[in-house]
Structure 1
Amino acid sequence: MPGIIVVGSQWGDEGKGKATDQMGDRVDFCVRYSGGNNAGHTLVVDGEKYAMHLLPSGILSPNSTPVIGNGVVIDLGVLFHEIDVLTGRGVDCSNLKVSSNAHIITSYHRTMDKVTERFAGKRKIGTTGRGIGPTYSDKINRMGIRVQDLFDEEHLRQKVEAALDQKNQILVKIYNRRHIEADEIVEELLAHGERLRPMVVDTVRLLNDGLDEGKIVLFEGAQAHHLDVDHGTYPYVTSSNPTAGGACTGTGVGPTRIDRVIGIAKAYTTRVGEGPFPTELHDETGEKLRTDGGEFGVTTGRPRRCGWFDALVVEAAATANAFTDVFLTKLDILSGWDRIPVCVAYDVNGTRHDRLPMSQQEFAEATPIYEELDGWHEDISGCREFDDLPVKAQDYVKRLEELIGTRISGIGVGPGREQTVMVHDLID
């Protein structure tokens, strides 16, 4: 039985939650492996909308055990708020499992995030201000607070004091902010500890035992390939590895246990925050895509930057993550266009590039070379089979498939769980 990874192939917000939800009732474990509450998934089930930031999408599937892996950074206040909201709406969250090795976002991480972004001015990255980057920084600097630390007050206090010895120097002397007391941080964390304790397990053993027993494990990434700290549009990236390889380090499941990697791609392209975006539209066309697609961040509410489909961006993600399948979302948003441009190459200072340039500077200077495809005007939201789609919509999907070099196995034609065209099964 397979281990399956779901990865965003653009700059996030592709609709990974919808793709994950399609498999939810057939999956035994749904695992979040990277990022924090700087990400968000929106799911629509039976007309009900659910927005989540830390909880795996599998929380809505009663047959699936939701797991937060060691690669995730957790804001406990946000986690418990999400649990309380879902519980109030009748969703059972009692089976949630959390890795003891996951790192905790504290209030001083959020403070550091905000003041450093403000200090950067025009050089800012465009973070969400949720403390994600500073938490991962502490993790790499070996001064982070982990879930397991919450259950030993003396040990926790020592770690918090060590972290604040450095951070208070920076906050007071560089940023002219107030000194943070260790006591208030320790009390805040301990207050969450007892509620968290029943959820904490050895998730590495849990998941590997599940695979040994023939159970299906779905690894759900946050953000996307081009926000990966190693492979994305650096420095305008997140602080973790949302790529397929990150699923292994973020959960402790080895690569030989992964059978399928599913890339999620929007039928056009969006991005939130700073950074290069060759196909971005700064006119009424981009505004129409934003309005029709409801392109506003789940986490921040910020309007997303919008542009046409960039085949080079998705092809690069398909290569680096070894996609076996692609799930194409929001095809319905393109209904009503006479012609639909697709970026098939770049012009960089007079030189044609048919693949993503190696240099970030070249990528920032890239001008898209478009191929225009015929559009369609039919409402496709009721289509459930590929042959139900208008011929021109079928042709659009087939051309994208050729350009990205990976089969398109599923197509989203609306926000609802049932508004999906499955071409190939994503599990069998």
Structure 2
Amino acid sequence: MARLRRSRIVLLSGPMCAGKSELAQRLEARHGAKIIRTRDLISAARPETPNTRSALQKAGQSLDKADGGAWVKTALARVIEGTVVDGVQPDLFVIDAVRIRGQIEAVRDAFGPEVHHVHVTASDVELARRYGERPTETVEFASYGDARKHPTERRIQELAPLADIVVETDRSSADAVLVRATALLGLYPRSIVPLVDVLVGGQYGSEGKGNIVGHIAPEYDLLVRVGGPNAGHKVFGDPVETYYHLPSGTRRASHARLLLGAGAVLKLDKLLREIQEHGVEAERLFIDRNAMIIEDSDIAEETRLTESISSTGQGVGAASARKIMQRSGGARLAGDVPELRPYICDAQEILAEAYLREHRVLLEGTQGTSLSLHHGPYPHVTSRDTTVAGCLADAGIAPRRVRRVVMVCRTYPIRVGGPSGPMWKELTYEDLATRSGIPLENLKRTETTTTTKRQRRIAEFDWEQLRRSALLNGPTDLALTFVDYIDHKNKDAFRFEQLTQPTLRFIEEVERVAGVPVSMMSTGFDWRNVIDRRAW
């Protein structure tokens, strides 16, 4: 018999009520498998057969007796050749179920190593219980004991030694059975392919991460964001796009799916408004059920921090603290909110699917490395770890998945106005206007915080901070923003060599201190504002 198109074939065997159909349906839902039921094959071969289990068993036994079970191979080949779903032939077929050795051997002989045999079973007590509770499309025997009297059913456990795996479904959950079958089929990658690029801020936040994300987002299939609404990311558009919860590439990469990880902290009304404003459909957005919800009491709790450390007062820290302290009950998570039900997921399932399909993933951090709860100048820090390691943990992404790390830095770092913490050699806006040639009123308008609308503090570039952030994040690339602050002439540069000489010397030294290339430079805030020198 001629070999057909390469397709994985799963043969299911096992006693009645062992979980064959459950596994078949899960393989269909998770991996797009085409289910082929042997009782349908029997009905096609013997259309006169009544739709009762005993009649179908007798008809199948007659077909097996005629050719030793080879009829299943022939019928299967016919179905596979004629099956097209959405213009494509499926590459996974599930046979529910094979009943004798001859059927298995015939299919293996025809399709070779693409055949995988899973035998499911359970204790007699459990099988009898399930039999009594099952709905059915066919007329059943009076009892499980009567059904087991049939010769084929009585000998079904003899197929277990032939199987690639035997699963006791009363000792494994339905999800665990699917995991084991998926691994057998080789549908989990046998090696880890780095598919995740991570983007973080290297200073005190407001480095222009959103605009860099907007530039590279169309290259990705899944956009992931962590953190909370204490950081607003802007992307140039008409009008300007601002993102507090959603990934900054939401509009720029309209084909990409969106994921908010388990470590995200959400202000419900703000998130729902953002979803509506950006026209995000339910089938595109996924929110991990363990993301934390900010309550009004959290915002009230943080009011005192706005005076002492210039907190944004959005309730992110208080909500994060409650997630730790109220584990015995009282903390409301995303999975508890009816309005979020269309979006709720287990982030690991979404990520696993992306890895399986070798989709590229962009993880977008918030705030900046020097605001890290653990690695910043405490107490003038935020409520989470803002380094690459912290962002990966919040998203649930293993370090070995990472391909590139982009660290974004400004030419002149900023902190929010007020007692927000130390900076190296603070400057006035008059100083910066004189140096850059940018009108003073333009600078002040630009340097107003997205979330709190406060005037930012600004300082000289901190070379020690750059080196420390590079050590903490291990970047493969830097993105340097606000290059026009070195010289306003840079806003008209569209190629690297068009930047002014002082700017080129500055970039050269940044690369030397950080030990990695400056792969992207932002020269302003317009449609053509990123000079891209990436080699990836």
TM-score grouping bracket, smaller chain normalisation:
0.7 to 0.9
C-alpha distance in 1 between matches for 2:449 and 2:281: 26
Corresponding residue for residue 333 of structure 2 = 147
Contact 2:409-2:478 within 8 A present in 1 as well: yes
**Cα shift readout 1:167-208 (whole Å, capped 9, x = no counterpart):** xxxxxxxxxxxxxxxxxxxxxxxxxx3331011111122113
Structure 2 counterpart of 1:55, one-letter code: L
Call closer, same or farther: CA 1:322–1:301 in 2, change over 3 Å: same
TM-score by length of 2: 0.59
C-alpha distance in 1 between matches for 2:517 and 2:354: 29
Structure 1 counterpart of 2:501, one-letter code: V
Corresponding residue for residue 224 of structure 2 = 31
Q: Percent identical across equivalent pairs?
A: 30
C-alpha distance in 2 between matches for 1:393 and 1:149: 49
Contact 1:83-1:93 within 8 A present in 2 as well: no
**Alignment equivalent of 2:285, drawn from 89, 92, 96:** 96
Matched, 1:304 2:450: no
Call closer, same or farther: CA 1:146–1:43 in 2, change over 3 Å: same
Matched, 1:86 2:270: no
Per-residue deviation at 1:304? 0.6
C-alpha distance in 1 between matches for 2:260 and 2:205: 19
Give 5+ residue unaligned stretches, structure 1: 151-192, 337-378
Per-residue deviation at 1:94? 5.5
Call closer, same or farther: CA 1:330–1:26 in 2, change over 3 Å: same
Call closer, same or farther: CA 1:283–1:421 in 2, change over 3 Å: closer
Corresponding residue for residue 359 of structure 1 = none
Task: Name the SS of the counterpart of 2:516 in structure 1.
Answer: coil
Structure 2 counterpart of 1:295, one-letter code: E
Corresponding residue for residue 299 of structure 2 = 110
Contact 1:117-1:127 within 8 A present in 2 as well: yes
TM-score by length of 1: 0.73
Corresponding residue for residue 414 of structure 1 = 524
Matched, 1:262 2:406: yes
C-alpha distance in 2 between matches for 1:100 and 1:276: 37
Matched, 1:135 2:319: yes
**Alignment equivalent of 1:59, drawn from 237, 250, 261:** 250
Per-residue deviation at 1:69? 0.7
**Cα shift readout 1:153-178 (whole Å, capped 9, x = no counterpart):** xxxxxxxxxxxxxxxxxxxxxxxxxx
C-alpha distance in 2 between matches for 1:22 and 1:284: 31
Per-residue deviation at 1:48? 3.0
Structure 2 counterpart of 1:420, one-letter code: V
Structure 1 counterpart of 2:400, one-letter code: T
C-alpha distance in 2 between matches for 1:307 and 1:59: 32
Matched, 1:281 2:391: no
Call closer, same or farther: CA 1:93–1:286 in 2, change over 3 Å: farther
* Structure of greater Rg: 2
Task: Name the SS of the counterpart of 2:424 in structure 1.
Answer: coil
Call closer, same or farther: CA 1:214–1:195 in 2, change over 3 Å: same
Q: Which stretch shows the higher mean deviation, 238-247 or 283-292?
A: 283-292
Corresponding residue for residue 198 of structure 1 = 342
Structure 2 counterpart of 1:263, one-letter code: M
Per-residue deviation at 1:287? 6.9
Contact 2:511-2:517 within 8 A present in 1 as well: yes
C-alpha distance in 2 between matches for 1:16 and 1:416: 14
Structure 1 counterpart of 2:324, one-letter code: I
Q: CA RMSD in A?
A: 2.0
C-alpha distance in 2 between matches for 1:27 and 1:416: 22
**Cα shift readout 1:192-249 (whole Å, capped 9, x = no counterpart):** x333101111112211320232111111001010001011111111101121001221
Per-residue deviation at 1:257? 0.7
Corresponding residue for residue 143 of structure 2 = none
Task: Name the SS of the counterpart of 2:302 in structure 1.
Answer: helix
**Cα shift readout 1:32-75 (whole Å, capped 9, x = no counterpart):** 12x21100101103x43111211111211212111111111101
C-alpha distance in 1 between matches for 2:384 and 2:324: 11
Contact 1:412-1:420 within 8 A present in 2 as well: yes
Contact 1:67-1:96 within 8 A present in 2 as well: yes
Matched, 1:217 2:348: no
C-alpha distance in 1 between matches for 2:514 and 2:219: 28
Number of paired residues? 332
Contact 1:384-1:422 within 8 A present in 2 as well: no
Corresponding residue for residue 374 of structure 2 = 230
Q: Which stretch shows the higher mean deviation, 213-222 or 398-407?
A: 398-407
C-alpha distance in 1 between matches for 2:494 and 2:375: 35
Corresponding residue for residue 317 of structure 1 = 469
Contact 2:369-2:386 within 8 A present in 1 as well: yes
Structure 2 counterpart of 1:227, one-letter code: L
Task: Name the SS of the counterpart of 2:408 in structure 1.
Answer: strand
Contact 2:293-2:334 within 8 A present in 1 as well: no
Call closer, same or farther: CA 1:25–1:283 in 2, change over 3 Å: closer
Contact 1:264-1:329 within 8 A present in 2 as well: yes
C-alpha distance in 1 between matches for 2:423 and 2:283: 41
Give 5+ residue unaligned stretches, structure 2: 1-193
Per-residue deviation at 1:286? 5.0
C-alpha distance in 1 between matches for 2:367 and 2:533: 25
Contact 1:75-1:104 within 8 A present in 2 as well: yes
Call closer, same or farther: CA 1:201–1:253 in 2, change over 3 Å: same
Contact 2:210-2:234 within 8 A present in 1 as well: yes
